[in-house]
Amino acid sequence: MGNIKNLTSEDPVKIYKFIVCCNKCYKITNFCLNINGQSLKDISDLIKKNHKLDNCIFIATRSNVNKIQAKVAKNIFFSLSPLSIIMKEYSGIKPNNVMTIVSNRNDVYYNQIYNTGPEPKYRISELTVEKVNDFVDNDNSLELLIALKNDEFE
């Protein structure tokens, strides 16, 4: 793949400075942003202010939150469909047919799933054996919609 410049960081300012340097020093105009939605939003705000980056193309590989996709710079494109398209599959489901279990993290991704997922819905910290047993005992289909951060899988 040749001599590709890369940076591993979640720090938006550090990533932004790296982009500016690569663009200025190496004339790089295509960037892949493999970062979370919040970092993407922060970097986008910086990119919008720097008109020297208007000729660049950015591909965001990890963000599919509607609020983020709607507010980024015009030259940021997404490899993932908006989360609303995925969640649309769960619209209109009667309560108690699917249980939604979502991370405790208070960020736009998990909040969008929590707010649009079928009921009953719980943050992982609210989930108890009794709540799961009640769901199972009510002859439900035992379908779960689960969105957890890696360190919450236990």
Mean pLDDT across the chain: 92
Higher local confidence (pLDDT), 2 or 118: 118
pTM of structure: 0.81
How confident is the model over 38-94, as pLDDT tens digits? 899 999 999 999 999 999 999 999 989 999 999 999 999 999 999 999 999 999 888
Task: Give the list of residues 6+ apart from residue 29 with CB closer than 8 angstroms, or none.
Answer: 23, 55, 56, 57
Tokens (6 digits) for 93: 């489901």
Of the chain, the percentage scoring pLDDT greater than 70 comes to 96
State the pLDDT at residue 141: 66
- Closest CA relative to residue 7, chosen from 37, 43, 38: 43
State the pLDDT at residue 146: 93
Of the chain, the percentage scoring pLDDT greater than 90 comes to 75
For β-strands 121-123 and 98-102, DSSP reports them as: parallel
pLDDT greater than 90 at residue 2: no
State the pLDDT at residue 154: 64
